[in-house]
Amino acid sequence: MKTISLGLIGFGTIGTGVVKLLQESIELIRKRLGANIILKKIADLDITTPRQVTVENSLITIDANDILDDHEISIVIELIGGYEPARSFILEAIRRKKHVVTANKALLATYGNEIFKAAEENGIDIGFEASVGGIIPIIKTLKESLVANRIKSIFGIINGTSNYILSKMTDEGKSFESVLKEAQKLGFAEADPTFDIEGVDTAHKLAIILSLAYGKKVKLEDIHREGITGISQRDIEFARELGYRIKLLAIATQREDYIEARIHPTMIPLNHLLANVNGNFNAFHVVGDAAGSVFLYGQGAGMMPTASAVVGDIVDISRNVLMGISGRVPARSIREYVINDIELMSFNDIVTNYYFRFAALDRPGVLSRIAGILGENNISIAAVIQKGRQKAGTVPIVMTTHKSKENDVQKAIREIDRMEIIHGKTVVIRIEDEKL
Residues assigned a catalytic role:
205
User: Smallest gap, in angstroms, from Cβ of residue 132 to its own copies?
Assistant: 13
Q: How crowded is residue 403: how many other Cβ atoms within 10 Å of its Cβ?
A: 12
| CB closer to its own copies, 252 vs 409 | 252
Binding residues for its own copies, total number by CB under 8 A:
63
How far apart CA 431 and CA 239 sit, in angstroms, is: 10
Choose which of 39, 73, 100, 315 interacts with its own copies (CB under 8 A). Answer: 315
Choose which of 296, 361, 381, 382 interacts with its own copies (CB under 8 A). Answer: 296
| CB closer to its own copies, 63 vs 121 | 121
Binding string to its own copies for residues 101 to 140, with x set by CB under 8 A, is what? ----------------------------x-----xxx--x
User: Smallest gap, in angstroms, from Cβ of residue 134 to its own copies?
Assistant: 9
- Whether 218 and 344 have beta carbons less than 8 Å apart is answered as yes
Q: ∠ CA 360-364-369 to the nearest 5 degrees?
A: 65
- The string of DSSP letters for 392-422 reads SSEEEEEEEESSEEHHHHHHHHHHHHTSTTB
- Whether 131 and 102 have beta carbons less than 8 Å apart is answered as yes
Among 38-46, 257-265, 323-331, 363-371, the segment contacting its own copies (CB under 8 A): 323-331
How far apart CA 92 and CA 69 sit, in angstroms, is: 10
| CB closer to its own copies, 146 vs 350 | 146
| CB closer to its own copies, 27 vs 221 | 27
- The percent helix, strand, coil of the chain (3-state, each to 5) is 40, 25, 35
Q: Report the b/e string of 32-44 with b at 16+ CB within 10 A.
A: ebebebebbbbbb
For residue 49, count CB atoms less than 10 angstroms from its CB and return exposed for 0-12, middle for 13-18, buried for 19 or more. exposed
150 binds its own copies (CB under 8 A): yes
User: Phi and psi for 234 in degrees, rounded to 5?
Assistant: -60, -45
| CB closer to its own copies, 290 vs 392 | 290
Choose which of 76, 307, 412, 429 interacts with its own copies (CB under 8 A). Answer: 307
Radius of gyration, CA atoms only, the chain: 24
CA-based nearest residue to 5, from 69, 92, 85: 69
| CB closer to its own copies, 387 vs 435 | 435
321 binds its own copies (CB under 8 A): no
| CB closer to its own copies, 111 vs 295 | 295
| CB closer to its own copies, 112 vs 133 | 133
Instruction: Convert 40-100 into a string of H (helix), E (strand) and C (coil).
Output: EEEECCCCCCCCCCCCCHHHEECCCHHHHCCCCEEEEEECCCCCCCHHHHHHHHHHCCCEE
279 binds its own copies (CB under 8 A): no
Q: Which of residues 330-359 bind its own copies (CB under 8 A)?
A: 330, 333-336
172 binds its own copies (CB under 8 A): no
319 binds its own copies (CB under 8 A): yes
29 binds its own copies (CB under 8 A): yes
How far apart CA 259 and CA 350 sit, in angstroms, is: 10
Choose which of 2, 3, 34, 372 interacts with its own copies (CB under 8 A). Answer: 34
How far apart CA 90 and CA 299 sit, in angstroms, is: 26
**CA-CA distances (angstroms) from residue 129 to 209, 211, 410?**
11, 14, 38
65 binds its own copies (CB under 8 A): no
Q: Which of helix, strand or coil describes residue 231?
A: coil
User: Smallest gap, in angstroms, from Cβ of residue 21 to its own copies?
Assistant: 5
32 binds its own copies (CB under 8 A): yes
Q: Which of residues 196-215 bind its own copies (CB under 8 A)?
A: 215
160 binds its own copies (CB under 8 A): no
Choose which of 56, 71, 148, 187 interacts with its own copies (CB under 8 A). Answer: 148
Q: Which of residues 377-396 bind its own copies (CB under 8 A)?
A: none
Count CA atoms within 13 Å of residue 283 on its CB side: 20
Give residues in contact with its own copies (CB under 8 A). Answer: 17, 21-22, 24-25, 28-29, 31-34, 129, 135-137, 140-141, 144-150, 215, 271, 273, 276, 281, 283, 288-299, 302, 304-305, 307-309, 311-312, 315-316, 319-320, 323, 325, 328-330, 333-336
